[in-house]
Amino acid sequence: MGYPDQRFDVNLSILFTELPLLERPAAAAAAGFTAVELWWPWIETPTPPRAELDALKKALDDAGTQLVGLNFYAGQLPGPDRGALSVPGEESDRFRANIEVAADFAASVGCTALNALYGNRVEGADPQVQDALALENLVLAARAADRVGATLLVETLNKPESPLYPLVSAPAAIEVVDKVNAATGLGNTKFLLDLYHLSMNGEDLSQVIKAYAAKTGHVQIADNPGRGAPGTGDLPLERLLDELKDAGYAGWVGLEYKPGERPSADSFDWLPPSARAAG
161 given a catalytic annotation = no
The DSSP secondary-structure symbol of 262 reads: S
155 a catalytic residue: yes
CA 244 vs CA 7, 31, 150, 228: distances in Å: 12, 26, 21, 21
- 37, 91, 155, 203: which one is catalytic? 155
Q: Residue 215's closest CA among 167, 152, 165, 141? A: 152
Residue tagged active-site, from 37, 203, 243, 256: 256
User: Which letter, b or e, does each residue of 225-240 get, where b requires 16 or more Cβ atoms within 10 Å of its Cβ?
Assistant: eebbbbebbebebbeb
Bond from prior residue into 166 cis (ω within 30 degrees of 0):
no
What angle, rounded to 10 degrees, do the helices at 170-184 and 205-212 form?
Answer: 10
**Distance in angstroms (rounded) separating the CA atoms of residues 54 and 60:** 10
Which amino acids are annotated catalytic?
155, 256
